Amino acid sequence: MKKLKTMFSALALCAGMTAFAHAAPETIKFSHVVAENTPKGQMALKFRDLVAERIGDKYVVEVYPNSQLFGDGKEMEALLLGDVHFIAPSLSKFSKYTKKLQVYDLPFLFKDMEAVDRFQQSEAGQQLLESVKSKGLIGLGYLHNGLKQLSANDPLHVPGDADGKKFRIMSSDVLAAQFEAVDAVPLKKPFSEVFTLLQTRAIDGQENTWSNIYSKKFFEVQPYITESNHGVLDYMVTTSTEFWMTMPDEDRAVLKKALAEAVAHGNAIANEKSMKDRQKILESGRSKIITLSDDERQQWVEVMRPVWGEFQDEIGEDIIQAAVASNQ
């Protein structure tokens, strides 16, 4: 009898272990290329924490910042292959999948981040989240970083100052055209390579937001930053149709809500982060911040603005008009 009891307890233990093994939470990987102390970095961590709190018995979110898992040349393919489940690339990096998102790269399109936000929340902006659907990707929402500044080895006051200089850009033809418009040489390079390219002087400059310039220490190797606010760097939080649609409905609803809250958190801190990082760069004394006069700024606008016409057909005139209207 005692033997039988022991056998039953052993069986029960095995069954329990099997049930436990089945119940192990599924890993969700969130990969991105920036530092943790940025709006995107903070958003991803918030998402991880909310998931742990609300549905941690079923899912655990692992966040891989700083291109640790995939750099920006590879993260979309990795998403489609199921090697990662969430990414939030810059809107400038989707041109292989849709030309419509190029609207966000048009120079001097948005007067400030409030205008960007209005456009993103408009019908046209919301429809753009669907523009990658046919490629197996789902845009779950926009996340702000901020407006871009121009950094360089030499001071940039007027467009002629950029003549012949090499600038790193994200993988966007609009950004290439924007630098060609000022007779500069654009080079499409992954974010993870920018610091070294600048440090070794293989390139002369780059464009980015205050939080990226600060967190990746670009300001330590770029003596001048022109506060040009000439374009926007925002993100689309993206998953794959295959991952998202095969998940149980009730779990998807919990993740969707957690993500929306995490994005709202990232958006709420983006502007303040931007201003604080600008201040830290200023106080470091490593980089001089150049403020453009109205006349100087107008010169950049006049030279870069014709780029819009080159991409009007690919993007769609209606989308450009909707973006322009968001400035009012």
Binding site for ligand LMR (CB under 6 A): 33-34, 72, 90, 145, 170, 191, 208, 212, 233
Closer CB to ligand LMR, 119 or 167, in the complex: 167
Closest contact distance (angstroms) between CB of 145 and ligand LMR is 6
Closest contact distance (angstroms) between CB of 131 and ligand LMR is 18
Helix, strand, or coil (residue 152): strand
Closer CB to ligand LMR, 33 or 124, in the complex: 33
Closest contact distance (angstroms) between CB of 25 and ligand LMR is 28
Closer CB to ligand LMR, 59 or 94, in the complex: 94
Closest contact distance (angstroms) between CB of 290 and ligand LMR is 20
Closer CB to ligand LMR, 157 or 208, in the complex: 208
Closest contact distance (angstroms) between CB of 246 and ligand LMR is 27
Closest contact distance (angstroms) between CB of 34 and ligand LMR is 5
Closer CB to ligand LMR, 79 or 247, in the complex: 79
Residue with tokens 């990662």: 84
DSSP letter at 58 equals T
Could you tell me which of 173, 304, 296 has the C-alpha nearest to residue 226? 296
- How many Cβ atoms from other residues are within 10 Å of residue 51's Cβ? 22
Closest contact distance (angstroms) between CB of 170 and ligand LMR is 5
Closer CB to ligand LMR, 150 or 322, in the complex: 150
Query: Mapped to the 3 state alphabet, what secondary structure does the chain carry?
Result: CHHHHHHHHHHHHHHHHHHHHHCCCEEEEEECCCCCCCHHHHHHHHHHHHHHHHHCCCEEEEEECCCCCCCCCCHHHHHHHCCCCEECCEHHHCCCCCCHHHHHHCCCCCCCHHHHHHHHHCHHHHHHCCCCHHHCEEEEEEEEEEECEEEECCCCCCHHHHCCCEEEECCCHHHHHHHHCCCCEEEECCHHHHHHHHHCCCCCEEEECHHHHHHCCHHHCCCEEEECCCCEEEEEEEEEHHHHHCCCHHHHHHHHHHHHHHHHHHHHHHHHHHHHHHHHHHHHCCCEEEECCHHHHHHHHHHHCCHHHHHHHHHCHHHHHHHHHCCC
Closest contact distance (angstroms) between CB of 196 and ligand LMR is 14
Structure tokens at 192: 């993870």
Distance (Å, whole) CA 106 – CA 232: 9
Closer CB to ligand LMR, 120 or 212, in the complex: 212
Closer CB to ligand LMR, 56 or 190, in the complex: 190
Alpha carbon separation from 209 to 40, 133, 147 (Å, rounded) = 12, 28, 6
Closest contact distance (angstroms) between CB of 171 and ligand LMR is 8
Closer CB to ligand LMR, 277 or 296, in the complex: 277
